[in-house]
Amino acid sequence: MANISILGLGAMGQALATRFLQREHRVTVWNRTPGKAASLIAQGARERNSAAEAIAASDVTVICVLDYGAAGSVIDAAASILSGRALVNLTNGTPAQARATAKRVAELGAEYLDGGIMATPPMIGGEHALILYSGSRATFDAHADSLEALGAANYLGADPGLASLHDLALLSGMYGVFAGFFHATALVDSEGIRSDSFLRLLGPWMAAMMGELPGYAQKIDSGRHGVNVVSNLGMQAASLENILTATREQGVATDLLEPMLELFRQRASAGFGHEDISGIFELMRRTRPGSRVPSGRAKPAGAP
Ligand SMILES: NC(=O)c1ccc[n+]([C@@H]2O[C@H](COP(=O)([O-])OP(=O)(O)OC[C@H]3O[C@@H](n4cnc5c(N)ncnc54)[C@H](OP(=O)(O)O)[C@@H]3O)[C@@H](O)[C@H]2O)c1
Contacts of 99 (CB under 8 A, 6+ apart): 159, 160, 161
- d(CA 234, CA 238) in angstroms, rounded, equals 6
Is residue 298 over pLDDT 90?
no
Q: What is the amino acid identity at position 114?
A: D
All CATH 3.40.50.720 domain ranges of the chain, comma separated, are 3-165
Give distance in angstroms: CA of 202 to centre of ligand 1.
34
On whether the CB atoms of residues 68 and 93 are closer than 8 A, the answer is: yes
Give distance in angstroms: CA of 65 to centre of ligand 1.
4
Q: What's the CATH fold of domain 190-284?
A: N-(1-d-carboxylethyl)-l-norvaline Dehydrogenase; domain 2 (1.10.1040)
Which residue puts its alpha carbon closest to atom 18 of ligand 1? 10
The atom of ligand 1 lying closest to the CA of 12 is 16
Per DSSP, what are the bridge partners of residue 47? 29
- d(CA 72, CA 206) in angstroms, rounded, equals 40
The atom of ligand 1 lying closest to the CA of 120 is 3
List pLDDT tens digits, range 38-58: 999 999 999 999 999 999 999
List pLDDT tens digits, range 1-24: 899 999 999 999 999 999 999 999
65 lines ligand 1 (CB under 6 A): yes
List pLDDT tens digits, range 98-132: 999 999 999 999 999 999 999 999 999 999 999 99
All CATH 1.10.1040.10 domain ranges of the chain, comma separated, are 190-284
Contacts of 129 (CB under 8 A, 6+ apart): 117, 118, 119, 123, 150, 151, 152
Give distance in angstroms: CA of 50 to centre of ligand 1.
17
- d(CA 189, CA 169) in angstroms, rounded, equals 30
Q: How many CB atoms lie within 10 A of CB 119?
A: 18
Give distance in angstroms: CA of 110 to centre of ligand 1.
23
120 lines ligand 1 (CB under 6 A): yes
* pLDDT cut 70: percent of the chain above it: 94
3-class SS of residue 152:
strand
Q: What is the dihedral of CA 36, 37, 43, 44, to 10 degrees?
A: 180
List pLDDT tens digits, range 137-193: 999 999 999 999 999 999 999 999 999 999 999 999 999 999 999 999 999 999 999
Which residue puts its alpha carbon closest to atom 19 of ligand 1? 10
On whether the CB atoms of residues 265 and 205 are closer than 8 A, the answer is: no
205-228 average pLDDT score: 97
97 lines ligand 1 (CB under 6 A): no
Contacts of 95 (CB under 8 A, 6+ apart): 161, 162, 164, 165, 168
Give distance in angstroms: CA of 269 to centre of ligand 1.
46
What is the bridge-based pairing of β-strands 111-118 and 46-47? unpaired
Q: What is the amino acid identity at position 70?
A: A
Give distance in angstroms: CA of 4 to centre of ligand 1.
18
Q: Superfamily for 3-165?
A: NAD(P)-binding Rossmann-like Domain (3.40.50.720)
